[in-house]
A and B are shown apart, each in its own frame.
Chain A
Amino acid sequence: MRDLAYFEAKFEALDEIMTADERVHLINGTFLSLSPHRHVYQNLQKKFRERMIAPPISELGFCGLATGAAMAGLRPIVDLSTGSFIYEAWPQVANEAANAFSMSGGQTRVPVVFHLFHGLRGGGAAQHSGSPQAMLWNVPGLEIVIPSSPRDVKGLLKTAVASDNPTIFVDHTRLLDIRGEVPENDKPIPFGVADIKRAGGDVTLIATSYTVQVCLGAAAKLANEGIDVEVVDPRTLVPFDLATILSSVEKTHRVVIADETHQSCGVAAEIAARIAETGFDKLKTRIRRVSTLDVPVPYSPPLEAHIGPTESRIMDAVRAAVA
């Protein structure tokens, strides 16, 4: 099996996608944020210069440009860079792109991908640490993809670009250096299929994005305490694979949800509600959430670390669930 870093898998996907389909254009391009691997992007620029533009700092304008271009038959991937910047583009994403297909009675397709880096990244403070996926989940008409591994980022990006719907691609800079198996000629990963990242019998630990990696670390430590944790990664929020989660709950009867969105109306809140509505009879204890605290993200590193879904908070929640 081939082993790749997350950023390598992501760029392999972009390269293969752009080679295979000349309708794909990149609008704005900081797909590696401020990471030291930014030079990889230059290889793409050499190959596909005519299909890449570096627009002015106009998130509202260039998200509209990408959306309009999608209506006219291109398949743009527009990069918002820091997740919080999507707030600048909200009218185009939430009020135009998300509604166009429905409002037109199914006549106008909008195959655009909005790519962003969400979450606590280290010193991002309140304006560069946003996790807008929960707000976006409240907007019907958007697909939401949230990978956590090298294999997933490649397979999900391919499906996102192939999709005829506006798709939010929620990435995390702390994943970029994670290594993992990525088979050659791997197939695209369909939306709406959760992945059991670690099998276990005692507790179902549901997590998204970088928090999946934190949970895998927590699960390894909890195994030493005799607690067998199953880590389930939904991989896409829209569509959402509740069936896989419920069959895990059927086995474990215990649920902890760990996620970087703020707690109120967050991703964990919605997942908890769905499990409670349809799988309450399977539960032996209350559902526990480990979300980012409901506060603006503080800059100071120890404070920032304190408010997120840390390994120790996750471990405490799992211990409480089996107690």
Chain B
Amino acid sequence: MLPTLPRDHLLELCRRMFVIRHFEESLVPLHDKGVFAGHYHLYVGQEATGVPALACLRADDYLFTTHRNHGHLLARGAEPKRLFAEILGRVDGLNKGKGGSFHSVAPSLGFLHSSGVVAGIIPLSTGTAYAAKAQKNGRITVCLFGDGSLEEGAAPEAFNLASLLKLPLLFLCENNGKYGPGRAVAAAQSSSMAAYPLTDLPKAYKIPAQQIDGIDAGVVHATISEAVAKIRRGEGPQFVEAQTVRYPGSETNWPTVPAPTDTALAWDVGSVPEKAREWYRSADPLLVYVRELVEASQATRGEIAAIELQVRTEIAAAVEFAVNSPFPKLEEAERGFFA
């Protein structure tokens, strides 16, 4: 379903989902051509979680994210050209090239630190929440992580602290392993977790927890809005597990693009290789959202295609900017690690 929002908001969410999609799809050929070196992870398939969820926040809230951070930063309004430049290790990068894909930050948007250690941010998120509570500034913290993060001991230690101290903190666990091959083990749809459903873990620490369909932008928006309202009322931490189906391009060690996204795929996936076709037909959250916009008469196919074209142009220019941005001067390697 669609979020209960005015039409211009709905279309802005659509635009941001396209920004993420085309950003990520543009990264794959850049890597394959050797334009950047490091490993990287795509947010494709989770756009309908991050985009509507982050639309529920205040401008001054804190966010922490992981190695899969591109979508979160873009959903919150980070400039694609500066994120590309960061991933390419260039001087115009968000972190001046010192962080790369796993560690991109945007303090002005609330992202102070992104960790490539899957649960590294979970204790840190209790810290910003603790500070905001002490400073009585009304800010909340949103901690965005994947299901695999729950396997590290940092997660339960942080859940315990957050619950005991009643911190203003939303744990948003994005489980991209629903039905996917990924790390599924028997009944546990994802992860190598004996605690299943995953919500059992926060519940053991008395943190209210729920599972939702992360492909459904309307459900995500309604759930996160309500959770955020509870947190702002001082009810303490909340946990939401948003389930999505793993993008077939993320099933391999290095990301691939099984089929380039195009608005037309929302109604005809015939051009998609058969192996990936079912994902595009039923589990691609962007295409689901596009269909819903049209079915609800919020936009025509042509209007959406126009939004997509504008995004494609913006992303192409952003790639151009990043590729032409210089590498940092060598002396930068030896400074900048103390304030």
Q: Taking beta carbons and an 8 Å cutoff, which residues of A are in contact with B?
A: 25, 50-51, 53, 55-56, 58, 60-74, 76, 91-92, 95-96, 100-109, 111, 140-141, 143, 163-165
Can you show 5 pairs from A to B with CB atoms below 8 A apart?
A: A25-B134, A69-B131, A71-B131, A96-B115, A104-B98
**Smallest CB gap from A62: residue in B:** B161
Contact between B117 and A107 (Cβ–Cβ < 8 Å)?
no
* Shortest 4 CB-CB contacts between residues of A and residues of B: A68-B127, A64-B123, A61-B157, A105-B96
The number of residues on chain B lying at the interface, defined by a beta carbon within 8 Å of a beta carbon of chain A, is 43
B36 at the interface (CB under 8 A from A): no
| Supplied contacts A51-B134, A56-B164, 16 more A-B pairs, CB within 8 Å | A61-B154, A65-B123, A65-B124, A68-B124, A68-B125, A69-B134, A71-B112, A71-B113, A71-B131, A95-B120, A101-B337, A103-B99, A104-B113, A105-B105, A108-B112, A165-B338
* Most chain A CB atoms below 10 A, which of B130, B135, B158: B130
Q: Which of A55, A72, A92 contacts B112 (CB 8 A)?
A: A72
Compute how far the CA of A81 lies from the CA of B287 in the bound complex, rounded to whole angstroms: 54
Contact between A66 and B95 (Cβ–Cβ < 8 Å)?
no
The number of residue pairs between A and B whose CB atoms lie closer than 8 Å in the complex comes to 153
Q: Which of A69, A108, A109 contacts B127 (CB 8 A)?
A: A69
The answer to whether residues A109 and B339 also contact, given A65-B123, A68-B131, A69-B127 and a CB cut-off of 8 A, is yes
B132 at the interface (CB under 8 A from A): yes
* Most chain B CB atoms below 10 A, which of A53, A106, A163, A164: A106
**Smallest CB gap from B154: residue in A:** A60
Contact between A69 and B105 (Cβ–Cβ < 8 Å)?
no
Contact between A96 and B113 (Cβ–Cβ < 8 Å)?
yes
Within 8 A of A (CB), among B323-339: 336-339
Distance of A139 from chain B, by nearest CB (Å)? 10
Compute how far the CA of A68 lies from the CA of B64 in the bound complex, rounded to whole angstroms: 10
Q: Which of B117, B128, B153, B337 contacts A102 (CB 8 A)?
A: B337
The answer to whether residues A107 and B123 also contact, given A53-B165, A56-B161, A165-B339 and a CB cut-off of 8 A, is no
Contact between A105 and B97 (Cβ–Cβ < 8 Å)?
yes
Contact between A60 and B130 (Cβ–Cβ < 8 Å)?
no
Compute how far the CA of A104 lies from the CA of B86 in the bound complex, rounded to whole angstroms: 10
Contact between B338 and A101 (Cβ–Cβ < 8 Å)?
yes
Q: Taking beta carbons and an 8 Å cutoff, which residues of B are in contact with A?
A: 62, 64, 93-99, 103, 105, 107, 112-113, 115, 117, 120-132, 134-135, 153-154, 157-158, 160-161, 164-165, 336-339
A60 proximity list for chain B (CB < 8 A): 123, 153-154, 157
A71 proximity list for chain B (CB < 8 A): 112-113, 124, 127-128, 131
Distance of B155 from chain A, by nearest CB (Å)? 9
Distance of A168 from chain B, by nearest CB (Å)? 14
Compute how far the CA of A74 lies from the CA of B233 in the bound complex, rounded to whole angstroms: 23
Contact between A70 and B127 (Cβ–Cβ < 8 Å)?
yes
A140 proximity list for chain B (CB < 8 A): 337
Distance of A240 from chain B, by nearest CB (Å)? 13
Distance of B336 from chain A, by nearest CB (Å)? 5
Contact between A104 and B95 (Cβ–Cβ < 8 Å)?
yes
Compute how far the CA of A62 lies from the CA of B320 in the bound complex, rounded to whole angstroms: 43
Contact between A96 and B161 (Cβ–Cβ < 8 Å)?
no
Distance of A28 from chain B, by nearest CB (Å)? 11
Q: Which of B103, B112, B126, B134 contacts A74 (CB 8 A)?
A: B134
The answer to whether residues A58 and B160 also contact, given A53-B165, A100-B113 and a CB cut-off of 8 A, is yes
